[in-house]
């Protein structure tokens, strides 16, 4: 656990924003206090870049950020530094395995979000997160090149857990598989995970990994917890995520990031 923190990297959904996807005044003010103390701040998220620009502007961020679980690194002006994408064969295998009556597939590529039904589950929430409208397409077979992310969406959480294990076993080292929410099963490129993404963000900022603090709430954040010098889990996180973190803050609906800044981050900067 490092006593020298120079970069704070925050997850977005379930962490920075509340359940309704809003960014509270308390969190905005807390991030300002961190930056005023001389610390750099970045974001890493399962969201596409389009879903991160408005938050970055609200927080006055100037550092590179990681989208698609860290698979795409980009600057606040939208310029892409790095883009890791699925091989077409892996994308096809993922879609084949997600072909289930209780699972809705989504596909992200080239700045677009493809869905099969406009009124499918969680589409309204994804509109708020991705800040783009879905392109409705019944057949994804012609979209398998340059895929940033495939998502299996289902409110059958036990089913997604089983598919998580199956996809991990079948795709192996050709993809990164994991749930970014209980109802979202993400499939991204092999290096598109928050551990490798955090490593790239630290390098872009010119800091060592042991000088990075991270805040997250879900299983896809565990990889960055393992790489960072100091890790903070949100209060509503699953038990395994809380157990993996150095400390636990309040929930996202209780402005847990603001609490973490004042209770854990600023005192360490002062030391």
The string of DSSP codes covering 181-247 is ETTEEEEE-TT-SHHHHHHHHHHHHT--GGGEEEEE-SGGGHHHHHHSSEEEE-TTS-HHHHHHSSE
Mean pLDDT of 118-138: 91
- The C-alpha atoms of residue 261 and residue 271 are separated, in whole angstroms, by 14
Q: Which two tokens stand for residue 208?
A: 């060592």
Q: Which is higher by pLDDT, 11 or 4? A: 11
With a pLDDT cut of 70, the percent of the chain lying above it is 98
Which of the listed residues 171, 188, 205 is the one where a domain comes to its end?
188
Task: Quickly tell me which residue has 């600057």 as its tokens.
Answer: 75
Q: Which pLDDT score is estimated for 3? A: 61
Q: Which pLDDT score is estimated for 269? A: 78
Judge contact between 40 and 208, C-beta under 8 A. no
Mean pLDDT over the full length of the chain? 95
Q: Is 260 found in the same domain as 139?
A: no
Q: Is 199 found in the same domain as 131?
A: no
CB atoms within 10 A of CB 10: 27
Judge contact between 218 and 225, C-beta under 8 A. no
Q: Is 196 found in the same domain as 76?
A: yes
- The C-alpha atoms of residue 122 and residue 127 are separated, in whole angstroms, by 9
Encode pLDDT of 199-213 as tens digits. Answer: 999 999 999 999 999
Q: How confident is the model at residue 271 (pLDDT cuts 50, 70, 90)?
A: low
Q: Which pLDDT score is estimated for 1? A: 46
Enclosing domain of residue 257 = 7-83+192-270
- Domain-located, residue 1: no
Q: Which pLDDT score is estimated for 121? A: 84
- Domain-located, residue 237: yes
- pLDDT for 2 beyond 70: no
| 3 three-state secondary structure | coil
- pLDDT for 245 beyond 50: yes
Judge contact between 130 and 50, C-beta under 8 A. yes
Q: Which pLDDT score is estimated for 114? A: 97
Closest CA to 81 of 174, 239, 205, 176: 205
Any idea what the CATH number is for the domain that residue 130 is in?
3.30.1240.10
């Amino acid at each position: 656990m490092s006593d020298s923190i120079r970069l704070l990297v925050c997850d977005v959904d379930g962490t920075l924003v509340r359940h309704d996807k809003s960014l509270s005044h308390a969190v905005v003010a807390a991030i300002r206090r961190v930056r005023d103390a001389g610390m750099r701040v970045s974001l890493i998220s399962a969201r596409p870049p389009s879903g991160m620009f408005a938050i970055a502007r609200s927080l006055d961020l100037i550092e590179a950020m990681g989208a698609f679980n860290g698979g795409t690194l980009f600057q606040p002006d939208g310029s892409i530094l790095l883009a890791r994408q699925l091989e077409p064969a892996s994308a096809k295998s993922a879609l084949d395995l997600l072909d289930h009556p209780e699972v809705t597939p989504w596909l992200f590529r080239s700045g677009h979000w493809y869905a099969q039904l406009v009124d499918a589950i969680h589409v309204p929430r994804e509109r708020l997160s991705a800040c783009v409208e879905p392109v409705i397409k019944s057949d994804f077979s012609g979209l398998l090149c340059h895929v940033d992310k495939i998502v299996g969406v289902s409110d059958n959480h036990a089913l997604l857990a089983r598919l998580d294990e199956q996809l991990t076993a079948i795709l192996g080292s050709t993809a990164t598989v994991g749930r970014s929410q209980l109802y979202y099963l993400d499939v991204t490129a092999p290096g598109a995970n928050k551990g490798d993404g955090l490593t790239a963000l630290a390098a872009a900022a010119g800091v060592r990994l042991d000088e990075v603090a991270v805040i997250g709430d879900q299983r896809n954040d565990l990889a960055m917890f393992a790489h960072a010098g100091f890790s903070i889990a949100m209060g509503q996180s699953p038990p395994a995520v809380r157990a993996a973190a150095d400390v636990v803050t309040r929930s996202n609906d209780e402005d847990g990031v603001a609490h973490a800044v004042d209770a854990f981050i600023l005192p360490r900067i002062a030391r």
